[in-house]
Structures are given as C-alpha cells and as structure tokens.
C-alpha cells in the first residue's frame, strides 16, 4: 500500500510538471530572442515561446509578461485559468521599447478564464481576433493594447459576459470573415469589426476606433467600429471613432438593451453610417453622441424592418450627415436631438433640424453659438467623452445645463482677446481679465471667460497670453 501511494504521488508530480506546475502568485517571463523553453521562466532566465507559456498553470495574482520589442508569429497566447476580483491574472509587457507583438494566430490572445487582464500588447494580423474572450470568460479586461489588421480587433464570444474593452487603439481591422461574390450569395458578406460583441453586459469605453472598413461584393463597403450580434445589455461609451464604415450595427434575435453614450463619431467613408438596426434590436438607447459624416452617401440613424418606440430611444444626440441625418420606417422615441441632413423620421419633443455647428470635420466640439449649448436634457451623467465635468454653464446665464452631444466643453475660441479696443492683445487686456480672476461668470463679464467654462481662471489667462503682440488683432 505504501509503494502504491508513492507511485500515485509520483505520477501526479509528473503530470503537473508536463502541464507546468501551479505556484503561488508570481511572475513568468517570455523573451522570443534570449529566452529558452527549458528555462524556469524568471526574468533572468525567461521562456522563449508562447507554446511554453501556455503550459504554465496560472494562479490568482500571477503575471505572464512578454518582452517589449518581442515578436511571436503563428503562436497564440491562451489563458484558461481564473483569477479573482482581488487577485487578477495579468498578461502584460516588461522591459523597454515597443509593445510586444503577437501575430498570425487565429485569435492571437484567447481568454477563457475569469478575471484576466491583458494590456500593453500589439495584436496584429490575426486570422480571427486580436483578443477573444471565449465562451465562459467573465470579468476580463483588455486595455492599452493596439489591435490591428484582424477580422475583429476584439471579440466577446457568445457565452462570455461582463468583460471590459477600454483605452485601446483599435485600428484598420479591415479583413472580411465572409466575402462571396454575387450572385452566388448576395447577402452574406460580413467582417471588418473593431469590436464584435456576441455576449452580454460588456463595456466598450474610451477606445480610439478607426478604419473598420472593407470591400464587400454585397454592400459595396462593410465594417463596424462596434458590431453587436445576439448581445444584450452592453454599454458602449466615450469612444472616439473615425473613418469606420458604420459606427455600430445591431442584429440577431437576442440583441436588446444596448446603450451608446457620449461617443464621438466622424467618418469620411463614402457610405458611412452611425447606427444601423432593425426591429429585433429592442430597447437600443443613444444618448449624447456627436456624429459628423461627410461621405457623399452617408447616413446617421438607419432603423428599418420594424422600427418603433420600443426599439430605439434617442436623447441629446447631434447628427450631421451629407445624405440623411436618419431614416426610420416608423416613429421611434426621440427627444432633444439636433439633426442636419435629410430627415426621414418623425422629430420628437425638443428635437430640431439645424446645424449643430461642430468646430470642424475632425473636431466635434461645438462653437459657442451652437444650438446644442446648454440646451440638453439632464440624464444624470457627470463626465463627457473627454472626461470634462457635466454639466457646465456654457452660456454664462448662471445655470449649469447639459450640452447636447458628446462634448460638454466648447470648441476653444478663435477670436483675439482685445478687451480695450486698441487692436492688440497686450498687458492691459491681461490686467482687465485678471481683475476678475477666480470669479464665476457672471458676475464676471462673459467676454473674460473666453473658454466658456463658467470661471475666469488660468485657462483664460493662458489664452490671452498666447495672443500677445499680434498686430492687427
């Protein structure tokens, strides 16, 4: 019996060694140039391959670190173990230099465990996703990564939930998953997604998403910054999107209760769109988004095949598009919007057809004379897309009221601060302004609050100083 027990114990040890021994919280290092898979995985003696790293059983609190400047092609990184809310498993970079690159795998990073953080990697030219939170993955976090040249920059699969994708650069994910010539199949092309959400209760926030745009036999162009298919209760907020074919398309019978809040969306793509949805996407909410689409066939909202007041709710949005501000085949729940472009839907309460007066095609802050200033509905939010405080008193009437659109702060002034009328910004103008320094406006004259934030402060002084000596003013 004694020898049998010893034999079993020895077999268990061998099995653990073959998989990679579990350990107390620690750090494991991978260096594709100077590492060796026979090493113990320390910083002084790192592993070389992701294949070896995948064999390590990670415990809560462990870190798996890839050498900056490193490049791994054709190998994926897999994390199937679970961290905890207080001791996450971390995948990160170490050393100095460029972010480590993982390329050429199906999903370059595959997470199926809970409470796993992946940050500071470049996940490029993967045949499916840069990072995938697979079925069963919960409370994962992807941040500070560059996700590029994939079918999907990031994917949350069906059965994964409560993951966060934030503060990433998601660029040129312009590969199609399905691309079949018509007339073989004229309605199946899909792909080119910055983020693809097939799961529930995920958050996509503070990312920069651009270039999700690819050729399609069926649609001419296709792609989306954030695609939701059979995903529910996802929150997409405070992202900055540029030159995507569509900002978001929603489909699938299980899609419902998704929210888009304080996003800044611009696109010069010819047929660019803001949001595309059908009647299956129940309870979709658009709040305080700014949208400027300059393509010749661009459209803001496209709500078809059963749009109604239970499908789409829109509040405080600014939408300017060349072809159409929006289309709906039936009225939806709209209020406090400002729309520029042909409007093919019924305007709701306090919504108007007007130019929102964005500063430019690339700067979606509004001018002080915009109808969006201090005219929105208060919905309880406290920060805009640039993390500025909401609300402000932008019109200096003594009352802090929410702006419509994604930016509470206004576009910076472009006029010369010549307060004394001598046609030059000089010390006398600065003296006039500083006499009100630290005061609210009003009672300070509104002209001295040059950035319209409600106070005469260092920002106003800096602006005036920047004009010193310019003649004529």
Q: Domain boundary at 353, 368, 394, which?
A: 353
Mean pLDDT of 394-400: 85
Q: Which one is predicted more confidently, 20 or 297? A: 297
Contact call for residues 94 and 68 (beta carbons, < 8 A): yes
Mean pLDDT of 7-21: 39
Please check whether residue 285 lies inside any domain of the structure: yes
153 in the same domain as 33: yes
Q: Which range, of 9-18, 134-143, 334-343, averages the lowest pLDDT?
A: 9-18
Q: What's the pLDDT score for residue 19?
A: 40
Q: At what angle do helices 458-466 and 427-434 cross, to 10 degrees?
A: 170
In the predicted model, is pLDDT for residue 395 greater than 90?
Answer: no
Rounded percentage of the chain residues whose pLDDT exceeds 90: 81
Between CA 299 and CA 433 the distance in angstroms is: 44
In the predicted model, is pLDDT for residue 423 greater than 90?
Answer: no
Structural domain boundaries, residue 444: 414-473
DSSP state of 375: -
Please check whether residue 6 lies inside any domain of the structure: no
462 in the same domain as 342: no
Q: What's the pLDDT score for residue 10?
A: 39
Q: Which range, of 130-134, 280-284, 289-293, 442-446, averages the lowest pLDDT?
A: 442-446
- Among 179, 198, 197, smallest CA distance to 188 is for 179
Between CA 389 and CA 372 the distance in angstroms is: 16
Q: Domain boundary at 353, 387, 402, which?
A: 353
445 in the same domain as 316: no
Please check whether residue 368 lies inside any domain of the structure: no
432 in the same domain as 314: no
What is the residue whose two structure tokens read 């069906």?
158
Q: Is the dihedral of CA 43, 48, 53, 56 positive or negative?
A: negative
Please check whether residue 233 lies inside any domain of the structure: yes
176 in the same domain as 38: yes
In the predicted model, is pLDDT for residue 41 greater than 90?
Answer: yes
Residues contacting residue 415 through CB under 8 Å, at least 6 positions apart: none
* Mean pLDDT of all residues belonging to the chain: 93
Please check whether residue 208 lies inside any domain of the structure: yes
Q: How many structural domains does the chain have?
A: 2
CATH number for the domain that contains residue 458: 1.10.1330.10
Q: What's the pLDDT score for residue 184?
A: 84
In the predicted model, is pLDDT for residue 413 greater than 90?
Answer: no
Please check whether residue 406 lies inside any domain of the structure: no
User: In this structure, are strands 333-335 and 312-315 parallel, antiparallel, or unpaired?
Assistant: parallel
140 in the same domain as 255: yes
Please check whether residue 377 lies inside any domain of the structure: no
Strand partners, 265: 241, 291
Q: Which range, of 104-113, 179-188, 212-221, 312-321, averages the lowest pLDDT?
A: 179-188
283 in the same domain as 198: yes
Q: What's the pLDDT score for residue 16?
A: 38
Q: Could you give the 3-state DSSP secondary structure of residue 37?
A: coil
Contact call for residues 448 and 441 (beta carbons, < 8 A): yes
Kindly report, residue by residue over 307-359, the tens digit of the pLDDT: 999 999 999 999 999 999 999 999 999 999 999 999 999 999 999 999 999 99
Q: Domain boundary at 353, 382, 398, which?
A: 353
Please check whether residue 408 lies inside any domain of the structure: no
213 in the same domain as 298: yes
428 in the same domain as 295: no
248 in the same domain as 142: yes
CATH number for the domain that contains residue 185: 2.160.20.10
Q: What's the pLDDT score for residue 25?
A: 67
Q: What's the pLDDT score for residue 74?
A: 97
Rounded percentage of the chain residues whose pLDDT exceeds 70: 95
- Among 268, 285, 364, 366, smallest CA distance to 321 is for 268
């Amino acid at each position: 019996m004694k020898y049998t027990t010893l034999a079993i114990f020895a077999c268990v040890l061998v099995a653990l060694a073959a998989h990679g021994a579990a350990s107390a919280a620690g750090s494991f290092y991978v260096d594709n140039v100077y590492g060796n898979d026979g090493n113990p995985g320390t910083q002084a003696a790192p592993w070389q391959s992701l294949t070896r790293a995948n064999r390590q059983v990670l415990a809560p609190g462990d870190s798996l670190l890839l050498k900056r400047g490193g490049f791994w092609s054709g190998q994926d990184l897999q994390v199937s173990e679970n961290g905890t809310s207080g001791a996450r498993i971390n995948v990160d970079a170490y050393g100095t230099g460029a972010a480590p690159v993982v390329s050429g795998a199906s999903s370059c990073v595959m997470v199926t465990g809970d409470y796993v953080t992946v940050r500071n990697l470049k996940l490029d030219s993967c045949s499916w996703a840069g990072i995938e939170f697979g079925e069963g993955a919960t409370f994962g976090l992807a941040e500070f990564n560059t996700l590029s040249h994939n079918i999907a920059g990031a994917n949350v699969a069906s059965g994964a939930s409560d993951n966060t994708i934030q503060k990433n650069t998601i660029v040129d994910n312009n590969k199609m998953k399905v691309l079949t010539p018509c007339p073989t199949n004229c309605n199946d092309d899909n792909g080119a997604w910055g983020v693809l959400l097939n799961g529930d209760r995920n958050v996509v926030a503070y990312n920069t998403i651009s270039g999700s745009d690819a050729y399609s036999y069926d649609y001419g162009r296709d792609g989306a910054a954030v695609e939701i298919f059979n995903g529910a209760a996802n929150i997409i907020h405070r992202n900055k999107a540029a030159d995507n074919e569509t900002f978001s398309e929603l489909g699938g019978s299980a899609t419902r209760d998704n929210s888009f809040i304080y996003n800044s969306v611009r696109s010069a793509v010819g047929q660019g769109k803001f949001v595309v949805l059908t009647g299956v996407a129940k309870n979709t909410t658009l709040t305080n988004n700014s949208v400027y689409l300059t393509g010749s066939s661009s459209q803001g909202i496209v709500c078809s095949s059963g749009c109604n007041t239970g499908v789409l709710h829109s509040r405080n949005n600014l939408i300017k598009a060349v072809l159409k501000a929006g289309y709906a085949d039936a009225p939806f729940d709209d209020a406090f919007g400002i729309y520029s472009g042909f409007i093919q839907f019924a305007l709701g309460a306090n919504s108007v057809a007007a130019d929102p007066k964005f500063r430019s095609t690339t700067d979606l802050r509004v001018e002080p004379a915009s109808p969006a200033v201090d005219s929105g509905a208060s919905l309880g939010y406290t920060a805009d897309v640039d993390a500025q405080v909401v609300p402000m008193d932008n019109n200096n009437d003594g009352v802090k009221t929410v702006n419509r659109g994604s930016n509470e702060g206004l576009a910076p002034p472009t006029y010369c601060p010549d307060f004394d009328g001598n046609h030059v910004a000089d010390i006398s103008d600065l003296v006039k302004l500083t006499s009100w320094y630290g005061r609210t406006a009003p009672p300070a004259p509104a002209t001295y609050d040059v950035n319209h934030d409600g106070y005469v402060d260092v920002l106003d002084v800096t602006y005036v100083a920047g004009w010193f000596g310019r003649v004529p003013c």
